[in-house]
Structure 1
Amino acid sequence: MPAAQLLARDIRALRKARGMTLAEIGARLKRSIGWLSQVERGLSVPSLADLRAFADLFGVPLGLFFGHEAESDSERGVVVRSGRRRSLGTSESGLVEELLSPDLGGSFEMLRSVFAPGAELAAIALRKTEEAGYVVSGRFDIEIDGVWHELGKGDSFRFAAKPFRWKNPGDEPAVVIWVVSPPVY
């Protein structure tokens, strides 16, 4: 699948995950529904300014739209090599995420999340998603629906459409493989 098609698929998946129509996005971005439809079908490629507007609208980092090319055509959309993942965060924020899924077009996304020591999501988040995670290393505390759970290496969790927040109370980074359905990035 060409890069334009991957970008189109990601933009469409983000719009659908947020329950937005083409008309709503068109009004917010001051773009026609026809142009947006062409972008979502890979017929038009948005400019850098357009990609910044999409990133702001969807609340995702701009870098999400710059995928790394697959090593071969047979791997495109199927395999993500460790050195070719899309990074979705910064070390300054205390959370760096890498997209393990080839794109956002499927029914779920898989992320490798690295939480810095002391990092936390202080404000409660609530998404219309089902989420699960596996702690690869470190200590990771997660509050789900008002109950805190202390997790360590090898522990896992799952919840659906419940308020949550997290923190890394440890002295080392916590690495969590996180699965979200439908994709939100």
Structure 2
Amino acid sequence: MTDQSQTSKTLGADLRALRRARGLTLQYLADQLGRSVGWLSQIERDLSEPSINDLREIAMLLEVPVSALFAHAPAPASEDGYVVRAGAHRAIGSGSAGLVEALLSPDLTDDFEMVHSTFAPNSRLGKLVTRPTQEVAFLISGQLDMIIGARRFTIGPGDSFRIRGEPFEWINPYDTPAVAIWVIAPPVY
């Protein structure tokens, strides 16, 4: 069992939301894990806690970094699920390619997620990515080049853009970081 200080009572809800966003059934995921549907259902309802190894396998099957399942900062009961205080945002993503992300949403149980993204100077995703999502982003600072479909755009502070299930790539060829707020539906982390 994991230590409750490492995972919050929203772990199960996050797992359920990620599983559903990927169109996976409890049966399918349980089969892939070599576990029972009842075991997985208890995890999703926060009635049981998975081991660290179970979390690693679940994260791999849901295609998220295991770190996205940890670091739920404790919140006062009156704020839990409603408010995420400064400094309590959950790090998400792999940090590869020069992108550092933090989840601004309280959890992954909504129809969307809001992410704070910082793109390192002179970094790029390096490939086109297509996700079954609708995404809107607002650039706070820096500049970012976006390839969306066959078009290339240079985005500056105060600009926003949308991606609707199209192939995209981000590039920061500039000498300063670019910072954006990104809204993604359904959640992907």
Q: What is the TM-score when the length of structure 1 is the normalising length?
A: 0.93
What is the CA RMSD across the aligned residues, in angstroms? 1.6
The within-5 A match list for 1:1-185 is 4-66=8-70, 67-70=72-75, 72-89=76-93, 93-185=97-189
Question: Where does the alignment leave 5 or more consecutive residues of structure 2 unmatched?
Answer: 1-6
Structure number with higher helix proportion: 1
CA, structure 1 residues 20+94, in 2 after alignment: closer, same or farther (shift >3 Å)? Answer: same
The answer to whether the Cα contact below 8 Å between 1:121 and 1:165 also exists between their aligned partners in 2 is: yes
The answer to whether the Cα contact below 8 Å between 2:97 and 2:125 also exists between their aligned partners in 1 is: no
Q: What is the TM-score when the length of structure 2 is the normalising length?
A: 0.92
Q: SS in structure 1 opposite 2:124?
A: coil
Query: Which portions of structure 1, spanning 4 or more consecutive aligned residues, are displaced by more than 3 angstroms?
Result: 89-93
Give, in angstroms, the shift of residue 38 of structure 1: 1.2
Letter in 1 for 2:106: P
Between the aligned partners of 1:44 and 1:92, the Cα distance in structure 2 is 32
Give, in angstroms, the shift of residue 89 of structure 1: 3.9
Percent identity between the aligned chains?
49
Letter in 2 for 1:13: A
Between the aligned partners of 1:121 and 1:26, the Cα distance in structure 2 is 32
Letter in 1 for 2:138: Y
CA, structure 1 residues 109+90, in 2 after alignment: closer, same or farther (shift >3 Å)? Answer: same
The answer to whether the Cα contact below 8 Å between 1:136 and 1:177 also exists between their aligned partners in 2 is: yes
The answer to whether the Cα contact below 8 Å between 1:136 and 1:176 also exists between their aligned partners in 2 is: yes
Letter in 1 for 2:79: E
Q: SS in structure 2 opposite 1:83?
A: coil
The answer to whether the Cα contact below 8 Å between 1:4 and 1:45 also exists between their aligned partners in 2 is: no
Letter in 1 for 2:154: E
The answer to whether the Cα contact below 8 Å between 1:140 and 1:151 also exists between their aligned partners in 2 is: yes
| Structure 1 match to 2:3 | none
Between the aligned partners of 1:6 and 1:113, the Cα distance in structure 2 is 22
